[in-house]
Structure 1
Amino acid sequence: MQEKSGSLVEWVVPLAFIACAAWLTWHLPAFTLSWFPPQDPSQYDKLSALFGRIDVTPTMAGLFGGYADMVDWVALLLLPIFGYLGVRTVRRAPMEFESWKPLDRLAVFIGRLTMMLIVLLCSVMIYEVVLRYVFEAPTLWANELSLWLAGFVFLCAGLYAMQQRSHIRIFLLYDMLPRSLQRTCDCISTGLIVTFAFFLIYGGYGEAFDKFYRWETFGTAFDPPIPATLKPMVLLIMVLVAFQAVVNLVSDWNAEPVIHSAADDIDADEIERLKAAVGADDLDAPRGATQSNTPRKS
């Protein structure tokens, strides 16, 4: 029997993972300066000055002779722990796809992170609206933070959509083919995805590494490191999407052919809930009978 999804641990672990990831993302220059400091003195001074400006705990001394303090190291150690716990404890919801391999669990956990990032994104926007239009005291960071979170949501949602087989597909010709030719089409589409991911990483690695290494920021008052984080994230997500496409191909190889129709968009469970709410007799009554029973105005 499938374990029920939505338990408390499925909320706490992803939120803890997001908290550790957010702290590490903001303090990554500390680890760059400690482990791989720039050889160019001017670039080193620029990066150290940037970190001195954004450091949340400037009074804490760095450990092991570096810039990263105790909080940074704790976040670094807890991040993989929460990630492992999240992948192990995530549960498939009834409406989600039934494939459940290890990489599927990772994609679903990332999907859970994406859902919570959407909640955080909406919270930031509501906070900004209240401050701007009620108290007339807008923030300097809400707009850029919203863009930053939206970028992560967009990227991570793509991986979850791939695992759920909910990405855009055109089935007009695919459904007409025999199962053997459908497998051939699946191989071709998976090969194209893997090829695209390879050349995207091959062509974009240098730029992504350069932006990350010098910690390129957005150039605003808040000045978040959007280019330094989203560019490498694009490449990382594309690697995971390519692996997920291969996993989907293997998982669906022996699956029975599915004929798609307009009825696929109808949620039977939702219809049953509506019937229970308003009364099945009212929903099942013919339109003509309903109209005939309605008194006419003279």
Structure 2
Amino acid sequence: MKDQNQPTETDPAEQPRNLLDNAIFKLGNALSLLFIVTVAISFYEVLMRYVFNAPTIWVHETASFLGGCLFVYGGIYALSINKHVRVVLIYDLVTTRTRRWLNVFHHIMGLFFSALLSWAAYQMVQDSWFSPFGEMRLETSGSAWNPVFPALVKGMIFLTLSVMFLQFCLHLIQEINGLRKNDDV
């Protein structure tokens, strides 16, 4: 019988694989505290609106901005600890070597996917950060408060997809090296 107080062993496949993944994992754990901030300011809005009849103009946009940025960051966080979506019906039935080949295919498709999305995100950033004449002008929300959150979210999407591309490159190299080592044995 296993002792409930014993720490559970974590699957090595669900650990950061390199320095970039480790940094993403640690930063993601720290950033997750922003969910508490989002809940706190949302509670503040409810309190101000329904108890004191003094609604805010900034809470909804701030909460949406924080939630959106954290959601986008979740993609590279999940990839850093190998918790991304996978069809395990096939993956769990094959040998370790076949899994490595499936991972190589996955990383090549991920490179293609993240490269195309990075390009599209770059176009969005260019449109939301610069005027047609090339002057820096951050897109705003158009609300009464009018923060630059739309431009910042688009920048976050571009940055995150660029990091994801780099992650896929590093993971692909690691898988290929793993296949080479198995061939040498």
Pick the TM interval, shorter chain.
Answer: 0.7 to 0.9
Q: Which residue of 2 aligns with 1:166?
A: 83
Which residue, out of 156, 166, 174, partners 1:243?
Answer: 166
Residue 225 (structure 1) aligned with residue 148 (structure 2): yes
Residue 105 (structure 1) aligned with residue 28 (structure 2): no
Which residue, out of 101, 121, 126, partners 2:38?
Answer: 121
TM-score, normalisation: structure 2? 0.77
* Secondary structure, aligned partner of 2:88: coil
RMSD over aligned Cα atoms = 2.3
Structure-2 change in CA distance of 1:173 and 1:100 (3 Å): closer
* Secondary structure, aligned partner of 1:172: helix
Aligned equivalents of 2:46 and 2:69: distance in 1? Answer: 22
Q: Is residue 122–residue 158 contact of structure 2 (8 Å, CA) maintained in 1?
A: yes
Which residue, out of 107, 119, 127, partners 1:190?
Answer: 107
Aligned equivalents of 2:105 and 2:144: distance in 1? Answer: 47
Q: Is residue 114–residue 156 contact of structure 1 (8 Å, CA) maintained in 2?
A: no
Q: Which residue of 2 aligns with 1:130?
A: 47
Aligned equivalents of 1:194 and 1:173: distance in 2? Answer: 22
Residue 208 (structure 1) aligned with residue 125 (structure 2): yes
Aligned length: 162
Structure-2 change in CA distance of 1:165 and 1:136 (3 Å): same
Q: Residue type matched to 2:169 in 1? A: V
Deviation at 1:105, TM superposition (A): 2.3
Deviation at 1:118, TM superposition (A): 0.8
Q: Residue type matched to 1:240 in 2? A: V
* Secondary structure, aligned partner of 1:224: coil
* Secondary structure, aligned partner of 2:82: coil
Aligned equivalents of 1:147 and 1:200: distance in 2? Answer: 22
Q: Which residue of 2 aligns with 1:148?
A: 65
Deviation at 1:244, TM superposition (A): 2.1
Q: Residue type matched to 1:237 in 2? A: T
Aligned equivalents of 1:113 and 1:248: distance in 2? Answer: 24
Q: Residue type matched to 2:108 in 1? A: G
Q: Greater Rg, structure 1 or structure 2?
A: 1
TM-score, normalisation: structure 1? 0.50
Deviation at 1:100, TM superposition (A): 5.3
CA deviations 1:105-148 (Å, max 9, x no partner) are 22113312431211111111111111111111110111111111
Q: Which residue of 2 aligns with 1:199?
A: 116
CA deviations 1:36-87 (Å, max 9, x no partner) are xxxxxxxxxxxxxxxxxxxxxxxxxxxxxxxxxxxxxxxxxxxxxxxxxxxx
Structure-2 change in CA distance of 1:108 and 1:248 (3 Å): same
1:273-292 superposed matches below 5 A: none
Deviation at 1:239, TM superposition (A): 1.4
Aligned equivalents of 1:125 and 1:203: distance in 2? Answer: 32
Deviation at 1:179, TM superposition (A): 2.3
Using the TM superposition, name which of 146-155 and 219-228 deviates more. Answer: 219-228
Deviation at 1:251, TM superposition (A): 6.7
Deviation at 1:163, TM superposition (A): 0.8
